[in-house]
Chains A and B, each alone.
Chain A
């Protein structure tokens, strides 16, 4: 209550959360701005495979010769020429900026083994799923479905079913 009196400006303009609909409208505008500037749609996970391949390459694995990486050599990978990589880093830093300006930054440590298991399994499944479906919730759903691609609709239905199954797992094993 005190804070509301002392910092009405901060509270109102840097802290209070926006509605989901505001978020929806602004995300759409930014995503479309990206298409207009670069000619390519917003994606997130396209770069993740490249980063993994680049990392393996450092340790002498000849990733360029692998089937899955043909056409996208990792040995000549340049972070700043990869639009997706730049926006990915931007999202992390942009969110960091938002919490700092709201004075709500806090490092949340991992509390228990259950969280480790959830993060490892969840991360692996998302990585594999994103590569198989050629896009994630952004690349396939947010930049695919509105672009009148059938794969966006199919992905939408399947990610929903997956989320339903995941919720049951979560309730059963991770609470």
Chain B
């Protein structure tokens, strides 16, 4: 099970989402992707997308206005 971090600090929508989508395509089932974002919209649309795509998602606030979106590829 691999783990990968993606630094998307300072990136505006939809770049974190597109980057995460690209990354997920390359990953194997059960791999974990951690996307570090500070865009308040990305912390909503990234998890929304990941859930609708059928992945497991957790959000952790790691600082003021800064989040880790943890996505586990399930299929």
Q: In the complex, how many residues of chain B place their beta carbon closer than 8 angstroms to a beta carbon of chain A? A: 18
Q: Does B40 touch A at the CB level, under 8 Å?
A: yes
**Which residues of A sit under 8 angstroms from B11, Cβ to Cβ?**
111, 115
- Determine the distance from Cα of A110 to Cα of B12 in the docked complex, in whole angstroms: 10
Contact B18 A104 (CB under 8 A): no
Interface string of B12-24 (1 = CB under 8 A from A): 1011001100100
B10 A111 Cβ-Cβ under 8 A: yes
B70 to A: closest C-beta gap in Å: 14
Interface residues of A (CB under 8 A from B): 3, 17, 99, 103-106, 108-111, 115, 167, 170-171, 174-175
Query: Which residues of A sit under 8 angstroms from B15, Cβ to Cβ?
Result: 170, 174-175
Q: Are A115 and B10 interface neighbours, CB within 8 A?
A: yes
Q: How far is the CA of A3 from the CA of B22 in the complex (A)?
A: 33
Q: Which residues of A contact B10 (CB under 8 A)?
A: 108-111, 115
Bound CA–CA A111/B11 (angstroms): 8
* A171 contact set on B, CB distance < 8 A: 18
Min CB gap B7→A, angstroms: 9
Query: How far is A115 from B61 in the complex, measured between Cα atoms in Å?
Result: 25
A175 x B39 contact (CB < 8 A): no
B4 on the A face (CB < 8 A): no
